[in-house]
């Protein structure tokens, strides 16, 4: 099997792919086939390109591949294949000759020994029969549909014999093939291996570009939302729920609807509002759910009753706060919206929160238009509450939609977050990215030193500070970085200090506060409780915020727990395979 460089061709016609793969299977092991070789020294063009170059013990040969129909009229060649047509003023043989000459000049300039080597070219038309003759046509070096089933080694041998005869007749001498060492030299001359310092920032930008496009699954979900007035969209972290929610909110607002988009996370609501502010036209109203509740209660003159409540009580957010908000709405004619869209709805699925939603949307939950987006893996309420909510929502006959493809995280981030949290993120559809890392520290000083070094390395490798977030399981004063207000020469800032963050400071916040947001790079700290049940959901929510790269810091005492998590992840994989 010949050496193919690259192993798999990208963005090429099916005809080229077919020929290239057959060359790999049918040519000798020590031969090299180069696909789509750029030719800056082309004799007629500023920049040319060879479909394929074969470096062999028979010689060096350029192949031009044409799929589909081929025709020529008034000196203009037309090539039709892969559902498109294009024209050239050069025949396929002229194109192949130009590529051959450019490769020959490049090699002979690099080493005098190549002056004795045989150079030739050929044309392959795998899908058509070509019998036309003419001054520009060399039928002896053509392989069309009639002989394409024969081994391609025979075709290369036929090219070698033809060009040997031509050179013997015109120049009175014969030329040789490449020696094995010359094949390697020729390959390194025209397509060298090299290594440069990787710009990690540039790499992550490329990964981001692959993540921002809606997957087919998301597009289908968006269309189903348009067809159903009431929907519940379910998906694990990273499956694009927030993206679809915002896109649907935009569409409905553009259609003249008055849209309320509720976010459980205050930072997420502010982030979405900031993004919408730069856009023209009608916009949805984006509100932090608790801020909206507080305003409703204040407008109804009930703020004093809210302020005597204990916000640390376990029933305050799921029960007492929404009860007061619902009462406030009933005290006066409630302000209603045409459409209600709720992101991170799993944190609001209690009967009391549903009462508020019922009053906020025109027509109520039964007949109104609403869309709930939730992660069933993050549901924090008990089975009894879930059953009550489920029955309540079922009365509205909503459509249910499930998302399975990961469009936020790279595969490496998804796997590492799944290992550490014990909850599996979607891996389907996730692009490859850089390797994620777990760092163990023996002491606080050791951990801070390692953290400082990682941040310096990221910035040195072109990752902007604005693309990095340090997420802790604890508040700053209780974290690994307690008492530290700078890292790697940069100030640490919380999310509210927007001016500092714009000036290049590093964002430090808790995993809980960052829920619903994301960054290209997440550095997770204070992970000593890995594998403990009551920390699982926080780790899952926090680590899944990383789009392209994840660094996790934990004390050395947590190493065995991490190993157990890795083994458990492996068992889950085996179970799914079975």
For residue 209, the 8-state DSSP code is: H
Smallest CA-to-CA distance from 92 within 56, 121, 128 is with 121
Query: Where does 251-377 show beta strands of DSSP type E?
Result: 259-263, 285-288, 339-343, 369-374
> How high is the pLDDT of residue 576?
65
- Distance between CA 127 and CA 65 in Å, rounded? 10
Q: Are the beta carbons of 484 and 496 closer than 8 angstroms?
A: no
**36 within 8 A of 8, measured Cβ to Cβ:** no
Of 89, 148, 91, 99, the residue nearest 120 (C-alpha): 99
The DSSP line for 511-537 is TTTTTT--EEEEEEE--TTTT-GGGHH
Q: Is the dihedral of CA 434, 440, 446, 451 positive or negative?
A: positive
Q: Which domains does the chain have, with CATH numbers?
A: 3-190 (3.40.1350), 214-403 (3.40.50.300), 411-577 (3.40.50.300)
Shortest CA distance to 370 belongs to which of 352, 386, 354, 385?
354
Q: What is the pLDDT of residue 306?
A: 92
Each residue's pLDDT, cut to its tens digit, for the chain (578 residues) gives: 788 887 766 667 778 888 988 998 899 988 999 988 876 544 444 346 788 999 999 999 999 988 877 877 777 788 776 546 677 778 889 889 988 998 999 899 888 889 999 999 999 988 888 888 888 889 999 999 888 888 999 999 999 999 999 999 999 999 999 998 899 888 888 887 544 444 566 656 665 555 555 555 666 677 778 889 999 999 888 788 888 888 889 889 999 999 999 998 887 788 788 778 777 788 999 999 999 999 999 999 999 999 999 988 989 998 999 999 999 999 887 789 999 999 988 888 889 999 999 999 999 999 999 999 988 877 666 667 778 888 989 999 999 988 888 878 899 999 999 999 998 888 877 888 889 999 999 999 999 999 999 999 999 988 999 999 999 999 999 999 999 999 999 999 998 888 999 899 999 999 988 877 889 999 999 999 999 988 998 999 899 999 999 999 999 999 999 999 999 998 888 776 54
SS3 at position 230: strand
**Backbone torsions φ then ψ of 195, nearest 5 degrees:** -140, 130
Backbone angles phi, psi at 266, to 5 degrees: -65, -40
- For residues 289 and 264, the answer to whether their CB atoms sit within 8 Å is yes
**Closest among 187, 2, 5 to 106, alpha carbons compared:** 187
């Amino acid at each position: 099997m010949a050496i193919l460089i690259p192993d798999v061709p990208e963005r090429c016609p099916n005809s080229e792919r077919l020929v290239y793969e057959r060359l790999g299977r049918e040519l000798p092991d020590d031969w090299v086939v180069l696909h789509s070789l750029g030719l800056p020294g082309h004799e007629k063009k500023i920049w040319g390109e060879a479909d394929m170059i074969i470096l062999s013990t028979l010689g060096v040969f350029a192949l031009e591949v044409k799929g589909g129909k081929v025709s020529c009229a008034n000196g203009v060649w037309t090539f039709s294949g892969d559902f498109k047509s294009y024209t050239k003023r050069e025949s396929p043989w002229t194109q192949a000759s130009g590529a051959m000459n450019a490769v020959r000049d490049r090699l002979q300039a690099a080493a005098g020994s190549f002056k004795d080597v045989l150079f030739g070219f050929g044309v392959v038309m795998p899908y058509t029969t070509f019998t036309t003759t003419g001054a520009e046509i060399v039928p002896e070096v053509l392989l069309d549909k009639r002989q394409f089933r024969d081994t391609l080694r025979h075709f290369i041998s036929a090219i070698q014999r033809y060009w040997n005869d031509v050179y013997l007749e015109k120049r009175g001498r014969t030329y040789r093939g490449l020696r094995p060492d010359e094949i390697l030299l020729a390959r390194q001359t025209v397509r060298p291996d090299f290594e440069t310092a990787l710009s990690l920032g540039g790499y992550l930008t490329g990964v981001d570009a692959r993540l921002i496009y809606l997957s087919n699954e998301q597009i289908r979900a968006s269309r189903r939302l348009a067809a159903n007035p009431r929907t519940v969209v379910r998906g694990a972290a990273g499956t694009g729920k927030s993206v679809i929610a915002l896109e649907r909110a935009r569409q409905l607002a553009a259609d003249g609807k008055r849209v309320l988009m509720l976010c459980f996370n205050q930072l997420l609501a502010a982030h979405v509002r900031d993004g919408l502010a730069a856009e023209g036209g009608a916009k949805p109203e984006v509100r932090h759910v608790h801020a909206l509740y507080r305003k409703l209660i204040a407008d109804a003159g009930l703020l004093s009753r809210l302020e005597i409540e204990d916000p640390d009580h376990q029933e305050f957010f799921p029960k007492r706060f929404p009860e007061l908000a619902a009462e406030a709405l009933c005290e006066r004619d409630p302000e209603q919206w045409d459409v209600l869209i709720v992101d991170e709805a799993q944190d609001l699925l209690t009967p009391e929160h549903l009462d508020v939603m019922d009053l906020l949307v025109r027509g109520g939950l039964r007949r109104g238009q609403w869309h709930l987006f939730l992660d069933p893996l993050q549901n924090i309420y008990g089975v009894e509450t879930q059953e009550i909510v489920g029955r309540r929502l079922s009365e509205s006959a909503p459509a249910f939609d499930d998302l399975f493809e990961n469009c936020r995280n790279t595969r490496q981030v998804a796997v590492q977050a799944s290992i550490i949290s014990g909850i599996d993120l979607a891996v389907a559809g996730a692009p490859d990215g850089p390797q994620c890392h777990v760092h163990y520290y023996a002491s606080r000083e050791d951990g801070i030193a390692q953290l400082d070094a990682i941040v310096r390395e990221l910035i040195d490798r072109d990752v902007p500070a604005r693309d990095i977030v340090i997420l802790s399981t604890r508040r700053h004063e209780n974290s690994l970085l307690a008492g530290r207000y700078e890292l790697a020469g940069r100030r640490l800032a919380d999310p509210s200090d927007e001016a500092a963050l714009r000036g290049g400071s590093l964002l430090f916040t808790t995993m809980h506060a960052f829920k619903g947001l994301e960054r290209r790079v997440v550095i997770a700290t204070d992970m000593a409780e890995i594998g403990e049940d009551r920390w699982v959901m926080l780790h899952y929510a926090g680590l899944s915020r990383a789009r392209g790269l994840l660094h996790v810091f934990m004390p050395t005492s947590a190493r065995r727990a991490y190993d157990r998590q890795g083994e458990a992840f492996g068992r889950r994989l085996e179970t799914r395979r079975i």
